[in-house]
Amino acid sequence: MVREVVIYPDKRLKQVSKEVEAFDAELHELLDDMYDTMIARNGVGLAAIQVGVDKRALIINIPLEDKEPEASQPRENTLEMINPVIIEADGKEKFQEGCLSVPGFYEDVERHKHVVVEYYDRFGKKHTIEDDDFLAIAMQHEIDHLDGRVFVERLSYIKRKKFEKEWKKRQKAS
Ligand code: CO
């Protein structure tokens, strides 16, 4: 079921999400709804707080192929991560990002090029994943959401000011 997406600057996006303790049917329904919502909105990733649920769960729309050989993911085009933790990060990379909570706005953000992330799948099994490409950027963007951070908050002071001005204008117009 498609859920409503929380739009910036909604205060819920500032919440620090809580660790998932129960890998149960409610979590699975949340993940399934997040998938439906991401696909319906043509997103590449979504964190639970973006549908108003403050749980440390996120999904990323990416072909998994050799990334997730254990087939613990219900969909081969989507990585589900519960309670993810970045355990290693190095290098720098600038990449143009967007976000379903900031629709229609895209800007370059600097992040680590390479990350190693520990996480649990929907069944509570622990995994480690490593990437130095698009997935690395996407994981950092989505984990930021779990910590109450939206990508526009990583822009330089001047770009941020410009964005806030544009965004206010746009919200008034809509
Ligand atoms: Co986002």
CA pair distance 67, 64, nearest whole angstrom: 5
Span 113-143, pLDDT tens digits = 999 999 999 999 999 999 999 999 999 999 9
Query: Looking at the domain assignment, is residue 3 inside a domain?
Result: no
C-alpha 151/C-alpha 167 separation (Å) is 14
* Cβ atoms of 60 and 78 closer than 8 Å: yes
- How many domains in the chain? 1
DSSP percent split of the chain into helix, strand, coil, nearest 5: 35, 25, 40
CATH number (domain holding residue 41): 3.90.45.10
Domain-located, residue 1: no
Asked if 47 and 101 touch (Cβ cutoff 8 Å), the reply is no
User: Considering the domain boundaries, does residue 6 fall inside one?
Assistant: no
State in Å: Cα 151 to ligand 1 middle: 7
Domain containing 164 equals: 11-173
Q: What DSSP character marks residue 55?
A: B
Q: Is residue 24 part of a domain?
A: yes
Task: Please confirm, yes or no, whether 142 is among the known catalytic residues.
Answer: yes
Of the listed 107, 142, 153, 164, which one is catalytic? 142
pLDDT band of residue 62 (cuts 50, 70, 90) is confident
Asked if residue 82 is part of any domain, the answer here is yes
- Residues, CB within 5 angstroms of ligand 1 (ion): 99
Give the pTM: 0.95
Per-residue pLDDT tens digits for 19-48: 999 999 999 999 999 999 999 999 999 999
Distance 64 CA to ligand 1 centre (A): 20
Distance 137 CA to ligand 1 centre (A): 11
Task: Please classify residue 148 by burial: count the beta carbons closer than 10 Å to its beta carbon, then call 0-12 exposed, 13-18 middle and 19+ buried.
Answer: middle
Residue 39 located in a structural domain: yes
**Is the pLDDT at 63 greater than 90, yes or no?**
no
C-alpha to C-alpha distances, 69 to 19, 66, 74, 91, nearest whole angstrom: 25, 6, 12, 26
